[in-house]
Amino acid sequence: MATTQLDHAPTISTAQIRRRFVSIETWCELSGISRRQTYERIAQGKLRAVKDGGKTLIDMETGERYLAERPELKVRPMARQGTSAGLTLESLGLE
């Protein structure tokens, strides 16, 4: 009996596929990145996405890599006297 390429293909379960690809909505919830920014990242080649019928799915492998490569947030202390919005710690009830 002849062996075909398909005989050696790895078996991938539906659960594995669901973990690897997520909807845009799920990606936005998990990553905190907006829908618009997500589509921009796809267009820029920073995120990999596939189409399943009319649904766009994000490849979580590339999504996780994208998030890991983002720079860490550096937080500056809030000014004690007025900010550009005219707010102070006192006006916010924080002092």
Q: For the segment 42-64, what is each residue's pLDDT rounded down to a tens digit?
A: 999 999 999 988 899 999 999 99
Judged against a pLDDT cut of 60, whether residue 38 lies above it is answered with yes
**Across residues 10-22, what is the average pLDDT?**
66
The domain limits of the chain are: 14-68
The CATH class, in words, for 14-68 is mainly alpha
| DSSP string across 18-55 | HHHEEEHHHHHHHH---HHHHHHHHHTTSS-EEEETTE
pTM of model > 0.75: no
Looking at residue 14, its pLDDT comes to: 59
- Tell me: pLDDT of 9 over 80: no
Calculate the average pLDDT of the chain: 78
55: amino acid identity, one letter: K
Amino acid at 94: L
pLDDT at 90 over 80: no
Would you say residue 76 has pLDDT above 50?
Answer: yes
